[in-house]
Amino acid sequence: MHKTVGKLLALAIIGTVALSGCSAVNSSVSKNVNSSATAEANAQNGIKGDITKLLSAANELKKEVSSGDGTNIKGAGTKLEDTWSSIEDSVKPKHPDLYENVEKYLNPTVAGSKAAPPDKQAIATLDNQLIQVLNEFLQHADADGEKVHMTDKAATDEFNAEEQQVKDVFNGVGLTPSISKDGTKEFTLVAEPHIWNPVKGVVAKAWTFNGQVAGPTIRVTEGDRIKIKLVNKLSEPTTIHWHGLHLPNDMDGVPDVTQSAVQPGQSFTYEFIASHPGTFMYHSHYDDMKQVGSGLYGAFIIDPKDPNAEAKYNHDYTMILSGFHVKGTMEDEEDYFTIDGRSYPDTPPMVVKKGETVRIRLINIDPTEYHTMHLHGMDFQVIAKDGHSSNNPQEMNTLSIGPGETYDIAFKADAVGTWMFHCHVLDHTMNAENSLHMGGLVTTVKVVE
């Protein structure tokens, strides 16, 4: 119990540190303010310094909760409470909203340190509160309407740590299974809250499989026997639906129809045979708008048993189209549309040589949005839809893809240069903080000699 609570509390603290630009270990802040805002910026620095101390004390409590030593937990909790008491007078008069939300955070945390560790629901709640309030506070507009832009080593390190996960999904690299004596391929997917960076410097609270958005790709071969254990570390029930796969009814992942929902702290193992080759997906089927919209999805690729059954390509990419609600609510349109969890300019690019062939597996897991993916400079062929190959591939340069659909497209890179590949619903190609520059569902194809 202590370890589980400690890990969840660590996510809350790490998310706050990365977001705030106030790492207790290493803070490197750059400001872009005009001279008239100097006094305001100095005042801000004082508050930021105080929050640094608070986060350091909270991080110490997190470590002690993880260790499970009751005496040390109590001592660290008292230190956290004392730290807050020493700075609350400087925060409350000028930043009442910040004060109120930190109070909400400290009450369950400190109470837990003195008695029992805070429960999962309390930690999930405080995580949401702190990420929202500190984002608003530490990136708020100054008196002249200019923003204080900050970069922080902790946020940069988190972004860099995610890069390999993004590249693996983009390049179709599958999660490594363990293989049992009878040849069954066994995987584990852990549903858990985590922070995620749609672009460098912007932190979103996500619900993830194995700590990443999109979740790790499951890649197997037609006819493989598969076991996938779902471990639920969320604050509410969940399930997984294997979208487009043919499998036993009780493995379909629909709560109260084919199975009981997997409760927090529990697990469920799905067992089935990889039915037919193609590009598919997996996603939560509980509280879908929230859970899928927060990141609980991934690609599921089944390769043909006969390697000669389909054409070979020099490059095989996977693009999962979705988005995040960073500044808005789940009822709003996403303000950071993503490819494999990233928004442009941080979406993974394609670099290919002239004459090479490219396959792109497009998966639209967005809960509500249609996307029209358009390639500049070249045409492509639609070679498969929803996991089924096309006998008469259609030539086009713009493809409309609805929620839950998958398309496989292919093209020959015959035009040297850097070409855009993007959604042509143009408000899907900007990020929340800047509508004057490209963002969202944009990437590039760089064709070199």
Annotation: CATH topology of 163-303: Immunoglobulin-like (2.60.40)
pLDDT digits (tens, 9 = 90+) for 270-295: 999 999 999 999 999 999 999 999 99
Residue type (1 letter), 366: D
pLDDT score, position 125: 47
Confidence of residue 143 (pLDDT cuts 50, 70, 90): very low
pLDDT digits (tens, 9 = 90+) for 6-65: 333 333 333 333 333 332 222 222 333 333 344 444 555 566 566 666 666 766 666 666
Pairing mode of beta strands 406-412, 185-199: unpaired
pLDDT digits (tens, 9 = 90+) for 353-389: 999 999 999 999 999 999 999 999 999 999 999 999 9
Question: Full-prediction pTM beyond 0.85?
Answer: no
pLDDT score, position 111: 55
Summarize the confidence of residues 126-150 as an average pLDDT: 40
pLDDT score, position 127: 45
Summarize the confidence of residues 170-188 as an average pLDDT: 97
d(CA 419, CA 447): 8
Query: Which spans in 115-177 are helix H?
Result: 120-138, 153-170
pLDDT digits (tens, 9 = 90+) for 243-254: 999 999 999 999
The dihedral built from the CA positions of residue 329, 342, 230 and 19, taken in this order, carries a sign that is negative
Lowest mean pLDDT among 173-182, 341-350, 433-442: 433-442
The CATH number given to 315-448 is 2.60.40.420
pLDDT digits (tens, 9 = 90+) for 225-245: 999 999 999 989 999 999 999
Lowest mean pLDDT among 166-175, 323-332, 411-420: 323-332
List b or e across 117-147, with b for residues whose CB sees 16 or more CB atoms inside 10 angstroms: bbbbebbbbbbebbbbbbbebbbeebeeeee
Confidence of residue 341 (pLDDT cuts 50, 70, 90): very high
The dihedral built from the CA positions of residue 133, 135, 138 and 143, taken in this order, carries a sign that is negative
d(CA 223, CA 304): 9
pLDDT digits (tens, 9 = 90+) for 383-436: 999 999 998 999 999 999 999 999 999 999 999 999 999 999 999 999 986 667
Pairing mode of beta strands 297-303, 215-221: parallel
270 neighbors 251 (Cβ within 8 angstroms): yes
Pick the residue with more confidence: 303 or 135? 303
pLDDT score, position 77: 73
pLDDT score, position 332: 80
Task: Provide the mean pLDDT of the chain.
Answer: 80
d(CA 280, CA 211): 21
pLDDT digits (tens, 9 = 90+) for 184-238: 999 999 999 888 999 988 888 899 999 999 999 999 999 999 999 999 999 899 9
Pairing mode of beta strands 417-423, 336-339: unpaired
pLDDT score, position 104: 62
Q: How is residue 174 annotated by DSSP?
A: B
